[in-house]
Amino acid sequence: MDEVFKLQSKVPDRAMVIMAHPDDPEFFCGGTIATWCAAGAEVTYLILTNGNKGSDDPQMTPEKLAAIRRKEQQAAADVLGVKRVIYLNEPDGELQSTLELRQRVVAEIRRYKPYTVIAPDPTRYFYATYINHADHRAAGVVAIDAIFPAARNRMYHPELMGEGLEPHPVKEVWLVGAEFPDLWVDVTELFETKLEAIRCHVSQVSHNEGWVERVQQRHQATDEYGRQVLREGFRVMILR
Ligand SMILES: [Zn+2]
């Protein structure tokens, strides 16, 4: 089993979690978010799509589903202690890294000034047993392109300066879903909180038998003292 490397990394005072779908923050890194919130971090979610294709129920409509998923996402964020959730309402399954979307993401980065941004690894096309959702890759591309150089450079998206949104340099980028994570966060103590937050996404997990066991298996590891722990992995960039 892999070792758990607990690298020194301070809890950011402000963090932004940029994800494609309602439920992505909780599945990918809900334990880390809970840990940061408990330590006093101000965490903002930026959810890029409305999740309106996440159902196989023939009775469900995209409009109904989008409204349900927004409520579920808010409930999950409340469980973890997240300060605010911003929805950009792009259609699910059609996320593209456009200039227009990048500007909207830059605006929120400049508004809330995160020290750290968590986003999906945009280079991840597939895993051992499933294909990565194209929206996750697009969310990763738009997030990192917004962070550098657009959010920190006043010449990018000059319209934003007129709204008082001054340049802001993000200092750390933590990518989830990476093939080779280089930082592991031990989330054993707050794993139940992560599960409780995932459970808020009733439309996604209520028909998904065995999801708790699968989530648990994905997080299991042995630490350097031989203890069983539950962990979340990141590929981390410290930006100069
Ligand atoms: Zn997703």
Prediction pTM value: 0.95
Cα(133) to centroid of ligand 1, in Å? 7
pLDDT at residue number 1? 43
Q: Is the pLDDT of residue 5 over 60?
A: no
- Which residue is it, tokens 């794993």? 191
Cα(107) to centroid of ligand 1, in Å? 23
Q: Mean pLDDT across the stretch 181-193?
A: 95
Cα(18) to centroid of ligand 1, in Å? 11
Q: What confidence tens digit (pLDDT) does each residue in 23-74 have?
A: 999 999 999 999 999 999 999 999 999 999 999 999 999 999 999 999 999 9
Residue 9 and residue 236 in contact, taking contact as beta carbons nearer than 8 Å: yes
Cα(166) to centroid of ligand 1, in Å? 31
Q: What confidence tens digit (pLDDT) does each residue in 68-97 have?
A: 999 999 999 999 999 999 999 999 999 999
pLDDT at residue number 9? 63
Cα(72) to centroid of ligand 1, in Å? 14
Cα(147) to centroid of ligand 1, in Å? 21
Q: What are phi and psi of 140, to 5 degrees?
A: -65, -45
Cα(163) to centroid of ligand 1, in Å? 31
Q: What confidence tens digit (pLDDT) does each residue in 118-134 have?
A: 999 999 999 999 999 99
Long-range contacts of 51-55 (CB under 8 A, 24+ apart): 51/21, 51/22, 51/23, 51/92, 52/91, 52/92, 53/91, 53/92, 53/93, 54/21, 54/22, 54/23, 54/92, 54/203, 54/204, 55/203
Sign (positive/negative) of CA torsion 240, 177, 29, 224? negative
The CA distance from 122 to 143, in Å, is 9
